[in-house]
Structure 1
Amino acid sequence: MEQKYGFGNWVTNSEVVRAIADTPEGPYEFVEVVLPARGKKYFDGCTTHNPRIVKNGDYYVLYYFGNNYEEPNPGYSDNVWESGLGQKAWMHKRIGMAYSKSISGPWKRVDQPILNPRQGEWDASITSNPSPVVLPDGKVYLIYKSSPVNYNPLCYWVRRKLIRSWGHIFVCLINLFFLSIPIKIMKMMWKILSYGIMVSILN
């Protein structure tokens, strides 16, 4: 995403890029845009965001979420949340995947989401913020964010998705104090533990 855009445009104008540094703390040097906008006919045609790379077998797999929207791309000074475009883009968030034999790419992007919302279920609105874990046997636990309704979720959910099997375990991580504690404290506590774990096993 160009630096001319404000932070609020992450939901409408983000791009996954590659940057390199000699140490984890930087400074980083920009190298390339890895997953650019590629047209509104694709589910990730306008935005790619929240990448996570894992190694599975001979391949590096890049998980991310993308979205698109019918409206024109916003200008540098546009407030997408006041105009409603941010909310529309939010509701189009879907998890995607790209893969490569090299951590430096090139990356082959899958043209369809790997995980779609399910109407009538807890994840009926979006699929977002993927966090995969690869097990020794090659199966993948995919943790992600969603909600039953819209862009104001009261719950964050974790779904253990066994990519190579039909089994599912859903874990609901409910922040019981979401509406009653200051946001800074909530963020700090969220990093330490999650409240109210409910597990349901689905066939």
Structure 2
Amino acid sequence: MSILGRKESSATKADAGKYLITAANPDSALAEQYRTVRNRIRTALGEAGSIRFVVSSPLPGEGKTTSALNLAVSFAGSGGKVLLIDTHFRRPGLAALLDAKSWPGLTDGLTGNGKLNELVQETGLERIDVLAAGSPLPGTGDLLNHPDLAEFLEWAAEAYPVVIIDAPAVLDSSAAVMLAGRCDGCVLVLHEGRTGVQKVQEAKRVLELGKARLIGAVLNRSK
């Protein structure tokens, strides 16, 4: 879909301005690139109605969270509310970047410690809410198969015009494929110079085998 010039590493609240380039510098060329990707996603998924999609990558560390955040800002800038969902149970990052509480969140709701829709938080960014990954728990591998999550995603589709799920890497976890199958599809983030063609093809094949739609890809270029 596009080439974006930003390198992602472990993110904290202090990094928010650096990674949220679409909010910090909306007139920049990079912000315009994200708006272009937004428009292409919207065209691919239909101009009308709510959309739900997963942002993932073939391997960890290729820029998924940065892309999910900036796409959320771009969609919110076009006038609709956006819900971001962090499904990175091992390395959550969205809450810190959005100045939100890391828990309670998704893991808490899926283990009976609160209703998921009541755990959604407002953020400091206009028209963007977040469901954090939640409390760190052992054995979270099967949580995303919980029927409450499917019910929550249906609720989210009615409550928000755009739902974006920041998911683990396709080749590192089954989560992205499973989540994409419950949504409209998956956007793959690729890191120039790091993501080999073989890994891209393998990720594409895994998504297809899981009957998950590949919406498109974003090439994330380090500077």
Higher strand share goes to which structure?
1
TM, length-normalised to structure 2: 0.30
Greater C-alpha Rg: 1
Q: TM-score, normalised by structure 1?
A: 0.32
Q: Which of 1 and 2 has higher RCO (CA within 8 Å, sep 6+)?
A: 2
**Greater helix proportion:** 2
